[in-house]
Amino acid sequence: MKDVPYTFQLEPPDFIPSTYDNHIQRRLSAMRGQYADEAALAQMLEQEDTLLYDVYELRRPEIAGEILHGISIVHPGKVGDEYFMTKGHFHSVLETAEIYYCLKGQGVMVMETPEGEWAVEALYPGRVLYVLPRWAHRSVNTGCEEDLVTFFAYPGNAGHDYGTIETHGFRKLVVERDGQMAIVDNPRWQPPSSRA
Ligand code: S6P
Ligand code: ZN
């Protein structure tokens, strides 16, 4: 971890930071239960535990006042008709926001609040997205061939709650229908008020 001000480069075509501390890779096997078409996921897993996304982090103390930041790269592909996506999470400290800046590719951010309000915003190069405090977020690559690359920054004390999304999923799924991106209801999702 650096103890003097620092810079790093984000260069095309890959935008992998010129320096980073942590490289996380998430594969298909980490997404069991998250895709609507479980048979398609099982079938794909028989062939290969495909890499879905990479995250490159610059390490900072996980405390208020710091800003955690890095690069997220979601690769192109689908499970059934549902695009490759991140696991998605709420921040453990709900009242913490996040900024995303899209550097490459085409995609969307799927978001929702604990009360079930939802939003989907497009991501494309040059686009900045402000994820409000309290909104869970998942990035989805809707492109055919290109990676979806975003720079992200969020408060050091935010933490991650993956469990709520793992259990209930997001309210909306992003799928391909007749060659186009479509937003559909997640059949697994229940209103927060009716959850056990
Ligand atoms: C962290 C921030 C991103 C994600 C990354 C992977 O708060 O939102 O760095 O960690 O896009 O997504 P996930 O849902 O697997 O953490
Ligand atoms: Zn986040």
Residues of the chain with pLDDT below 50 are none
Which residue from 139, 148, 150, 164 has its CB within 8 A of the most atoms of ligand 1, so it is best to mutate? 139
The pLDDT of residue 196 = 75
Name the pTM for this structure.
0.97
Span from the CA of 166 to the centroid of ligand 1 (angstroms) = 14
The pLDDT of residue 2 = 82
The pLDDT of residue 103 = 98
Structure tokens at 114: 């604990």
Span from the CA of 170 to the centroid of ligand 1 (angstroms) = 15
Structure tokens at 5: 């001000």
Which residue from 23, 51, 71, 86 has its CB within 8 A of the most atoms of ligand 1, so it is best to mutate? 86
Q: What is the pLDDT of residues 25-79, one digit of tens each?
A: 999 999 999 999 999 999 999 999 999 999 999 999 999 999 999 999 999 999 9
Question: Could you say which architecture CATH assigns to the domain 22-194?
Answer: Sandwich (2.60)
Question: Which residues, in sequence order, are CB contacts of 166 under 8 Å at separation 6+?
Answer: 33, 34, 87
Ligand 1 binding pocket (C-beta < 6 A) is: 26, 55, 70, 72, 86-89, 98, 137, 139, 152, 154
* Domain ranges (residues) in the chain: 22-194
